[in-house]
Amino acid sequence: MGRRSLLRRVDDLLLPPLGRGIRWLQAGTGRRRVVTSTALIACALLVVAAVWSTDRPTQHVDDSGPVVRVGVNEGESIPDYAEAAHGELELLARNSTAPTWALVSLAAYVGPGQVTEVAKGQAVVRVYARVPMPRAPTEIVHLNVTALPDDLLAEMDRVAERKDADAAGYADLAGKLSGSSAQETHQREVYRTAQELAETEADAYRGHCECAYALVVRSTPQDLLELSGRDVVRAVDAAPEMEGFERAVFLPALPEQPGIAGPPGSALSDDEPPVGGPPASEPPG
C-alpha cells in the first residue's frame, strides 16, 4: 500500500477524535497553547508512526531459519534484564573465548564522538538511534557501520536526506487540502505538524545529534565484560546462540525508561530523555 493511501486511511480513523481534542485545546490561551503544540505533535506522530510501521520496517530479518530476539521486551523490567544479562555474560566469559554478537544498551543518548569512545576496541556493526524528544515516539533507525565515526556520520547524513524528503511529502499533502471544512482544516494541521517533526529530525541528524542509544557489536566474552564496565553502558546482552546477524531482532532499552520497557514516547518514559554521556577524549572525526 502506498504512503498516501495509508495516510488517507489513518485520517479516517484519527481525525474525528483529534478534531475534538484540538478544538478544546485551542479554546484556551497562554500555557494551554504550549499544550496545543504538544498535542498536535502527538497527533502527527500517530500518523507518522502508522506510516513507519506499515511502509518502513526498521529491521529486515532473514526468517529462513530460527530468529533470535536479543534485548528487553515491552513490559519487562529493564534493571532485571540488565542484571540477568550481566550474569549470563560473566558465566560465558568463564567458559568461552569465542567471539559472539552482543547488544549494548546505553544509559543516555550520545553523539558520534561518544559512540566512538565507548566502543573503542570493539567491532561495531550497527548503531541504533532516534531523536530524543520528551514523550514523542520519534522513529527508531538502525545505522549500519564498519568504521567509526566516519560511517556513522555518513549514515546520519543519509537519514537527514530521507527526513527532508518526508517533510516535503507532508508539505505536498497539506498543500493539496484547500478546503475550509473542519475535517480538512484539522487534517491539514496534522500534516503540517508531521512536516515540522520531520524537519526537526532532519536538522538533528544533519547536525550529527546526540541520538545514538545502542550498539550491536561482535567481540569475545572477555572484551564484552570489560565493555560492560565503561561509562554510559547500561547493559551488554551477549547472544552466543545467534547463527547470523541477519536472523536477529534487536530490542535495546531506551535511556529515558528507568523501569519498565515500552515504546518510545510512552508513559513509561521520563519527561526528559537523558542526553550526553561523559566527554569523549577526542572530537569526532
pTM of the complete model: 0.76
Say whether both 89 and 186 belong to one domain: no
Distance CA 230, CA 119 (A): 9
Distance CA 187, CA 10 (A): 10
The confidence score (pLDDT) of residue 283 equals: 38
Say whether both 72 and 167 belong to one domain: no
The confidence score (pLDDT) of residue 213 equals: 98
Say whether both 161 and 196 belong to one domain: yes
Say whether both 201 and 224 belong to one domain: no
Say whether both 110 and 81 belong to one domain: yes
Q: What is the pLDDT along the chain (285 residues), one digit of tens a residue?
A: 333 333 343 344 344 434 433 333 333 333 323 334 445 555 555 555 444 433 333 455 555 567 899 999 999 999 999 999 999 999 999 999 999 999 999 999 999 999 999 999 999 999 999 999 887 779 999 999 999 999 999 999 999 999 999 999 999 999 998 888 888 889 999 999 899 999 999 999 999 999 999 999 999 999 999 999 999 999 999 999 987 777 899 999 999 999 999 988 776 676 677 887 654 444 333
Distance CA 254, CA 251 (A): 9
Say whether both 200 and 183 belong to one domain: yes
Residue-wise burial string across 21-54, b where 16 or more C-beta atoms lie within 10 A, e elsewhere: ebeebeeeeeeeeeebeebbbbbbbbbbbbbbee
DSSP collapsed to 3 states, 7-43 = HHHHHHHHHHHHHHHHHHHHCCCCHHHHHHHHHHHHH
Say whether both 72 and 48 belong to one domain: no
What's 260's DSSP letter? B
Number of domains making up the chain: 2
Cis? peptide before 149, omega within 30° of 0: yes
Q: Comparing C-alpha atoms, which of 40, 249, 44, 216 is closest to residue 138?
A: 44
Query: Does residue 39 belong to any structural domain of this protein?
Result: yes
Say whether both 77 and 195 belong to one domain: no
The confidence score (pLDDT) of residue 281 equals: 42
Say whether both 201 and 240 belong to one domain: no
Number of other residues whose CB lies within 10 A of the CB of residue 283: 10
Query: Does residue 22 belong to any structural domain of this protein?
Result: yes
Say whether both 80 and 181 belong to one domain: no
Query: Does residue 141 belong to any structural domain of this protein?
Result: no
Domain membership of residue 233 as a residue range: 68-132+210-251
